[in-house]
A and B are shown apart, each in its own frame.
Chain A
Amino acid sequence: MNVVVEKIFFSEKVAKLVIQAPEIARSRKAGHFVIVRVDKFGERIPLTIAGANIEKGTIDIIVQEVGVSSSKLCKLNAGDTILDVVGPLGKATHIEKVGTVIAAGGGVGIAPLFPIVEAFKKAGNRVITVLAARNKDLIILEDQMRQFSDEVIVMTDDGSSGKKGLVTQGIEEVIAREKVDLAVAIGPAVMMKFAALTTKKYDIPTLASLNTIMVDGTGMCGACRVSVGGETKFVCVDGPEFDAHKVNFDEMLFRLSAYQKQEVEAFQSFLNK
């Protein structure tokens, strides 16, 4: 169970792990996530399922090395086992034919966006994908996205790939030239916040998939709570997708930084080991 069958580095810090998890592969849908605990000492962390292969019984997760847990995952090799993988969790993305969909992914958020792009395309939508990251190395899955997108716009902060600029500029470009019926934004909280502000100007319904801190991930601890339209919601069971125009991203940004000091210290001592 939970054996890593393949590892592919997209860049120095971003890796895709293909994990044997036949039951999850069979039952997962776009938008679902798993909780992973790498070893006995590990944290339980949520990771969106980026793809699955029912025949092979595998699921894909994409991890960016930012701290102890993600480093431990990135260091695993084919043949290694992840101690605990549980899921699929969260509500699946509601997929239907709406017309034209902008799918905006920022950094490692591009990974969870992929199954959603695929599903919207297969449901008969016109899908325009906007991928954004700091630089070329952090733009992942571009070819796969092209397979299921009518158009892919790449934006980088430094212009090393596609156009130089932010995700919001890519979104604006599309809105300026055609009618958009739905936007989906997945990425760092700041990116989703500004993507939501952009689409709100044009009253385009927008979904954001939130990546909050979780412990159990099954609706028990409340660590993942966010304010949506003034109400407290739990990302693990009510989400992870919400109406992006109603999410209090500033509060979410604060909450994401709750353990920042401990995380940095832990990562330093991990690297020094």
Chain B
Amino acid sequence: MENLTTYLTQERDQEWRTEIRAKIKLKERTLKLRVKMNEVDPDIRNKNSVEVNSGLTVDQALLEAQRCVDCIDPTCITGCPVGINIPKFIKKIEIGDFLSAASVLKETNTLPAVCGRVCPQEKQCEAQCYYTLKLKKEPVAIGYLERFAADYEQNSGKMSIPEVEKSNNLKVAAIGSGPASLAWAADMAKFGYDVTVFEALHEIGGVLKYGIPEFRLPNTVVDVEIESLREMGVKFITNFIVGRTASFEDLRTQGFQAFFVASGAGLPRFMDIPGENYIGVFSSNEYLTRVNLMNAANPEYDTPVMSGKNVAVIGGGNTAMDAVRTAKRLGAETSRIIYRRSLNEMPARVEEVKHAMEEGIEFLNLNNPLEYYADENGRVNRMKVQKMELGEPDSSGRRSPVPIEGSEYFLDVDTVIVSVGVSPNPLIPACLSDLKVSKWGTIIVDKETMQSSIPDIFAGGDIVRGGATVILAMGDGRKAAAGMHQYIAEKVKK
């Protein structure tokens, strides 16, 4: 930690940083108002898959960068799971060197264009910003600036490829190609390893591709970042399920020294209420996978999707918001969120909830489904809902929802999307009998090294956390890379 502080101070003391800090008085910086993200009009965007946030202009970015006071103690960095040198990249923007700003991001973050879009900055870096903590003002728009620099680089066609060490000819593999694996792969490639990422699906990117919709994270943005990894020497193999297509033992024989299991969230959870298996009741995973991964809304593609008229999405997380907004875009007349707690307890990002409301999504908060009914063909046509009130805080610290007796009522629905969480993917744990897993099926790892109970197997992301964010998964990937690097160094020494 001391080293890090010294490093950050040294960086801050560089001439260019001192100069740019002196250019504008502190007081003047703090009087500027936070930039507003440019957005596509809600009534236009809720009918297509165009990206909702259109990014900052150069002028907006320059102004916002001036707000950052380049603190002596940059608390924002402590809020970042991958430890981006935030003031440095923002000051690079302030001096107009946007490509260098992008390089700073990439020192610690493999996917800045992704994180700039989907990270919950309001709970991380921006929550720890000097403006938030000390001035009680709106924080510097770190996320918008991150996206600005990353997009600038992507659009410039001058992608900087992080330097990699000379090859050590040691093979390592990741299982799954989502954010945890991509972060891991970048670090392992930098260390000089021969890196292979195995993916079960036909597309690279995991949840970034099958889960998060185009209007929040365009696939092209993800593909550019994956291309950078390819240029760093990372190999990607699709349609390959480690433990199935080939066993861990087969891969060990082929020379793989260690594995990073990041197979992600798996089985969707249902509520176990009557009627949940009627036609037209989906998991959010299925609904989003059909639309995002299989392009079901495009008639050129063979995979169908039900575009309902009356859609109810059960849950209050980011995935629920993605599903309900997708339903709206596919032409639903009413698309509703049904959530058992109140808006205050809602786990979805504030921005997603705001966007959803602007787009005409109805929120039935403090409501909970009890039962679904179907027509003679088995297609859901009605649901019974109960109103709730908030009681005492539960184990999650949130006030628990308590049913109000006698408040049941019916809603007409033709599509229901259940988005109440997932259980870890069972495929990998099922093929490794020595692997220690928790009672929820998540892989148990050492918190510092991410090493599992099998020494050459490390793990991270949702398969360890059971359901988290892109950036926490990436943080796990980086930790696992450091842990694995050390493990292999010791193993090779022997």
Query: Residues of A at under 8 Å CB distance from B?
Result: 23-24, 27, 37, 41-44, 68-69, 83-89, 215-216, 218-223, 225-227, 232, 234, 237, 251, 254-255, 257-259, 262-263, 266
| B-to-A contact residues, CB < 8 Å | 200-202, 210, 238-241, 244-247, 264-268, 270, 272, 276-280, 282-283, 285-286, 289-290, 293-295, 300-304, 306, 377-378, 425-427, 430
Task: Note all chain A residues with C-beta closer than 8 A to B267.
Answer: 219-220, 222, 234, 237
CB within 8 A of B425: which of A24, A44, A88, A218? A218
Tell me if A37 and B202 are in contact (CB < 8 A).
yes
Given contact pairs A220-B267, A222-B283, A85 touches B239 in the complex (Cβ within 8 A): yes
Which residue on B lies nearest to A221, using beta carbons? B286
Q: Is the CB of A27 within 8 A of B246?
A: yes
- Report whether A220 and B302 are in contact in the complex, using a CB–CB cutoff of 8 Å: no
CB neighbours of B283 from chain A (8 A)? 221-222
Q: Nearest residue in A to B200 (C-beta to C-beta)?
A: A218
- Describe B's contact surface by its main secondary structure: loop
Closest to B244 in A: A88
Known A-B contacts A68-B302, A262-B304; the reply to A86 vs B285 at CB < 8 A is: no
In the assembled complex, 22 residue pairs joining A and B whose CB atoms fall closer than 8 Å, in A order, are A23-B240, A27-B247, A41-B295, A43-B294, A44-B202, A86-B239, A88-B244, A216-B210, A218-B266, A219-B266, A219-B426, A220-B264, A220-B285, A221-B285, A221-B289, A222-B283, A223-B286, A232-B272, A237-B426, A237-B427, A257-B377, A263-B304
A27 touches B245 (CB 8 A): yes
How far apart are the CA atoms of A43 and B202 in the complex, in Å? 11
Kindly list chain B residues whose C-beta atoms are within 8 Å of the C-beta of A254.
278-279, 377-378
Given contacts A222-B267, A237-B267, A251-B378, list 9 more A-B pairs with CB under 8 A.
A41-B295, A84-B202, A84-B238, A86-B202, A220-B210, A220-B268, A221-B268, A232-B272, A266-B302
CA–CA, A120 to B264, complex, Å?
36
- State whether A220 touches B277 (Cβ < 8 A): no
Query: Are B300 and A89 in contact, CB atoms less than 8 angstroms apart?
Result: no
Q: A220-B425, A237-B426 are in contact. Are A215 and B286 (CB under 8 A)?
A: yes
Complex Cα gap A215–B290 (Å): 7
Q: Which residues of B contact A85 (CB under 8 A)?
A: 239
Closest residue on chain B to residue A37 by CB atoms: B202
Residues from chain A with a CB closer than 8 A to the CB of B378 are 251, 254-255, 257
**Which B residue's beta carbon lies closest to that of A67?**
B302
Interface of A is mostly: mixed
**Residues of A with C-beta under 8 A to B286:** 215, 221-223
**Complex contact B289–A232 (CB within 8 A):** no
Q: B residues within 8 A CB of A68? A: 302
Min CB–CB distance B57 → chain A (angstroms): 36
Q: Nearest B residue to A217 by beta-carbon distance?
A: B200
The 8 Å CB contact of B202, one of A83, A220, A223, A227, is A83
Contacts of A225 in B (CB 8 A): 270, 277
Which of A27, A219, A251 has most chain B Cβ within 10 Å? A219
Question: Smallest CB-CB separation from A88: which chain B residue?
Answer: B244
B270 touching A24 by the CB < 8 A rule? no
Question: Which residues of the other chain, A, contact B285 by a CB distance below 8 angstroms?
Answer: 220-222
> Are B302 and A69 touching (Cβ within 8 A)?
yes
